[in-house]
Amino acid sequence: MGMLITKKSQYALRAVLEIAKKSGSDVLTIEEIAEAQHIPRRFLGGILTQLAQGGVLMSRRGKTGGYALGRPAQYISVGDVVKIIEGPLDQVCCQNEEERRDCIAAGGCAFIPMWKEAFDALNKVFEKTMLSDLVERDRNLAAAHNHNYTI
């Protein structure tokens, strides 16, 4: 599964989740997000800028600056975030016409239907999983984890 989701997309999703968890409060700084989600600070700035340009986040500059959701969590899908970072997840290199010319199986490939089915399934999961679903899962996991310590 690691090859389907890059580290950059994982960082983006974790950052957006952290911001969504604090939604309703003020903006979060890069430092707060990096620390809470254990994301290297040097990668985070560019990722957050990309997400703000894509409309998932909004940024506020200045001394009291930081990041907040660009729209409510129930209207942001995992797919929205991944597409901003990676582009559409609908192609493997051999589905590209130009790259297929260099392929030894250029006349036809048994793998292409499988790749298409796999990417379609992944896209379906990403599009139906909303940020609000992940916030709820995170809260449930935190509650279960805290409960285990009080027993």
Query: What's the CATH code of the domain at 121?
Result: 1.10.10.10
**In contact, 67 and 57? CB cutoff 8 Å:** yes
Angle at 90 between CA 79 and CA 46, to 5 degrees: 50
| Domain membership flag for residue 2 | no
Residue 72 has which token pair? 């409510």
Predicted confidence pLDDT, tens digits, the chain (151 residues): 445 689 999 999 999 999 999 877 789 999 999 999 999 999 999 999 999 999 999 998 888 889 999 999 999 999 999 999 988 765 555 555 665 566 666 566 787 788 788 888 988 999 999 999 999 999 999 888 776 554 4
User: Phi, psi (5° rounding) for residue 56?
Assistant: -75, -35
| Domain membership flag for residue 104 | yes
- What domain range is 73 assigned to? 7-150
Q: Name which of 17, 9, 77 is nearest 43 in CA terms.
A: 9
Distance from the Cα of residue 27 to its chain's centroid: 19
* Per-residue DSSP letter, 70: S
pTM of the predicted model as reported, rounded to 2 decimal places: 0.82
How many domains in the chain?
Answer: 1
**In contact, 50 and 43? CB cutoff 8 Å:** no
